[in-house]
Structure 1
Amino acid sequence: MNKTIDINCDLGEGGKFDADIMPLISSCNIACGGHFGDKKSVENAVNLAKTHNVNIGAHPSYPDFENFGRKSIDITENDLKNHLHQQIDLVEMTCKANEVKLHHIKPHGALYNDMRKSQTITNLILEVVAERNLDLILFTPPFVKFSSKIPESITLWLEGFADRAYQNDLSLVSRDENGAVLNDPDLISKRVLSMVHNQEVLSLSGEIIKHEFDTICVHSDTANALKILEVLKAKLIENRIKIGENYDS
């Protein structure tokens, strides 16, 4: 193998294939009560990740079960910070109980997308992660701007999406639009190979965008998610690309 790429997946969201998906990835993002999840689902996901030696991340969101965290909501900064800490606490405490490490934080849904739109949200998320007093990785979309210095305890990983379409500015195409979600395993595999080998991704309009990614996500609720990951893993191995953490990131 001459290249390595982290493949991550959002798990603990009520899907039927978490146990089958976990061996195919290197990092998981565990729903922790904002958009989905509770103590039992987090425990199940952490145990699965530990069994398969998969990096464990907390996947906090706006507190919004009704919309699965996919809509921005009106909430005070203080309340949002408290909610995010409570969600991350659930994963961190479960990790400690199982003698494994909390590896990263990946905001979910609208909260994640708002990192590109709102300096207030970006700064708040950075503050929350810094206040954990742990060495942590923060998954971010491309072109997020931080107005304050990144603490030494936080490493930023730029995330790409295998199964979501991009606009020309590398913002995600709204799920309400046709073509926003990709579910063809062969097409997605070609897309990921291009992202890894050429640092390129094709936008919905057909423009080739140059960008490097530290981690690439396949969503567990995408149709064919398990098949996508099975085909993707085989294609990566075939092309001498290892699934795992790139320590040069």
Structure 2
Amino acid sequence: MLVDLNSDVGESFGVYKYGSTEIIGFVSSINVACGMHAGDPMVMLKTVEMAGKNNVAIGAHPGYPDLIGFGRREFHMSKDELYAYTLYQIGSLYSFLRAKKLDMQHVKPHGSLYNKIAKDKDEAYAFLSAVRDFSKDLLVFLPPGSKSEEVALDIGLKVVREGFLDRAYNSDGSLVARNIPGAVLKDEDFVAKRAVDMIVNKSVKTIDNKTISVDFQTFCVHSDTPGAENFVKKLLKVFSDNNISIKSARDWV
């Protein structure tokens, strides 16, 4: 069995250090912050260089222009603004990739933007049409069953269905909001076992104790979780014990 394992990285900026960089050596794909919700040019350059050395697939991670709120607050933009800001962020990362002779595999929206376009078709179109206009060959990491997935498929983009290992799910398949107790899972052994269930049995238990069917192709591991790289090492061992291999989405999806 194959699965892509991705991580949001490059989230430091200026003198502020945030998230693990070591995790890049253990995942198959990374999502690089593009300077709006996190990151800066120096961080982007170093992150791209590290990804190249580790042969990890690279994606852009556009977010709302909200450094103070780390892109996790509700944010309002016009459709034209969202299109332009998305295109700008993809292009900024691409400049580093081109300079280092590396390819861009995918685009994954960040935080509040990810959740907003999962429910709003108009905003999803603004975001995803920017991706398409940059390159229709880019994969997009999106939640299955979402409005964003529907729009992406309608306009000819290839979707990689994303799940979250350390986040609780509602019975409709959406993520439990971070401000609700139990939304973020911290027991590493439980998360690893749950991951195997999601891959092998294609099911997950929801926060209200129901079991729903899921079919994820890539899983996110947050680099800002304390000890993230040690958890990924443990996760890879559990995967290996259950005949699960990780491979970047471009190679098999």
TM score, norm. by length of structure 2: 0.92
Measure, in 2, the Cα distance between the counterparts of 1:147 and 1:134.
13
Q: For residue 5 of structure 2, give the secondary structure of its aligned residue in structure 1.
A: strand
Q: For residue 8 of structure 1, give the secondary structure of its aligned residue in structure 2.
A: strand
TM score, norm. by length of structure 1: 0.93
Matched, 1:201 2:199: no
Equivalent residue number for residue 61 of structure 2: 59
Q: Is the deviation greater in 137-146 or in 155-164?
A: 137-146
**1:17 shift after superposition:** 2.3
Q: Is the deviation greater in 111-120 or in 96-105?
A: 111-120
Measure, in 1, the Cα distance between the counterparts of 2:153 and 2:90.
22
Q: Which amino acid aligns with 1:133?
A: S
Measure, in 2, the Cα distance between the counterparts of 1:207 and 1:98.
47
**1:66 shift after superposition:** 1.4
- Pairing partner for 2:11 from 13, 22, 25: 13
Q: Is the deviation greater in 133-142 or in 158-167?
A: 133-142
Measure, in 1, the Cα distance between the counterparts of 2:119 and 2:152.
16
Measure, in 1, the Cα distance between the counterparts of 2:227 and 2:181.
18
- Pairing partner for 2:179 from 156, 176, 179: 176
The structure whose residues are more often helix, as a share, is: 2
**1:100 shift after superposition:** 0.7
Superimposed CA distance per residue, residues 188-209 of structure 1 (whole angstroms, 9 cap, x where no aligned partner): 1111101110111111111111
Equivalent residue number for residue 71 of structure 1: 73
Contact 1:181 1:222 in 2 (8 A): no
Q: 1:147 to 1:8 in 2, by over 3 A?
A: closer
Q: Which amino acid aligns with 2:79?
A: E
Equivalences for residues 46-195 of structure 1 within 5 A: 46-145=48-147, 146-147=150-151, 150-152=154-156, 154-195=157-198
| Unmatched runs of 5 consecutive residues or more in structure 2 | 13-17
**1:227 shift after superposition:** 2.3
Contact 1:188 1:228 in 2 (8 A): no
Contact 2:56 2:248 in 1 (8 A): no
Equivalent residue number for residue 34 of structure 2: 32
| Unmatched runs of 5 consecutive residues or more in structure 1 | none
Contact 1:8 1:218 in 2 (8 A): yes
Contact 1:185 1:227 in 2 (8 A): no
Measure, in 2, the Cα distance between the counterparts of 1:29 and 1:133.
17
Q: Percent identity?
A: 36
Equivalent residue number for residue 236 of structure 2: 233
